[in-house]
Structure 1
């Protein structure tokens, strides 16, 4: 079970909402929010903020990430059916 309520906002892309697979999931450490992206270079023009439940309904396989990806960690995979690789995030400070 995710540590956020289903109606909490998450970051995603238009491609994910229209059916592209989620290949990268990030669980942010600062506010425990999530991003579910398709693995392409992030383009803010295509970014969307939606209820987390919207993405989970479209991509129910993402429920398996809830216990695997702790705040401050991300998971990635090369495609649907491939295993997730979980790694600790190392963010650079904004003033670097």
Structure 2
């Protein structure tokens, strides 16, 4: 899956999986807003993230159940394999 091939996108997915639903503005990743918007769009369009509007905020959720149904174990394998690299590049609180 192309959407999971980028360390920054993996960091976003890992953060949402670990912390639950998150707004776009709540990420502490040091990257320009336009870069983050691009990566959120790639994750949304590929079906990895689901985004819903709540007032002015966009709430992001990983579509884990859908992904596990279509590709059993793939998301867990990718996240577990990439976790050391992702957390060294983009530490999570």
The answer, yes or no, to whether TM exceeds 0.5 is: no
Q: TM-score, normalised by structure 1?
A: 0.33
The structure richer in helix per residue is 2
